[in-house]
């Protein structure tokens, strides 16, 4: 992996900023990653019509989730957090 792609560049590309589009087109997706936070930010800002196309764009990159998983598991093990989280989230991560 050579680089971590920030959400700002993806957002600029989606907003039609030519420099961002050129930068993205020059990337090798096999050598590029995005964070799970970046993926969530990008998909949250897209309407239903464009979501599948944008998902194809972000899903071509490696998804970095290891650190988030460790952090979440550390939080999840805290009893106060377990009581406060919605049950749907608990089911997804159980």
- Residues 16-71: pLDDT tens digits? 999 999 999 999 999 999 988 899 999 998 888 889 999 999 999 998 875 555 45
Residue 62 in contact with residue 94, Cβ under 8 Å?
no
Q: Rounded distance, CA 90 to CA 78, Å? A: 13
Give the predicted TM-score (pTM) of the model: 0.67
Q: How many domains does the chain have?
A: 1
Domain housing 85: 3-93
Q: Rounded distance, CA 93 to CA 15, Å? A: 34
* Contacts of 52 by beta carbon, 8 Å cutoff, 6+ apart: none
Report the pLDDT value the prediction gives residue 92, as an integer from 0 to 100: 43
């Amino acid at each position: 992996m050579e680089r971590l792609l920030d959400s700002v560049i993806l957002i600029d590309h989606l907003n039609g900023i030519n420099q961002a589009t050129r930068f993205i087109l020059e990337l090798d997706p096999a050598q590029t990653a995005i964070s799970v936070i970046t993926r969530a930010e990008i998909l949250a800002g897209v309407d239903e019509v464009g979501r599948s196309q944008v998902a194809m764009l972000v899903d071509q990159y490696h998804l970095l989730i290891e650190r988030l998983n460790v952090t979440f598991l550390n939080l999840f093990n805290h009893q106060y957090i377990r009581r406060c989280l919605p049950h749907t989230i608990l089911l997804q991560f159980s």
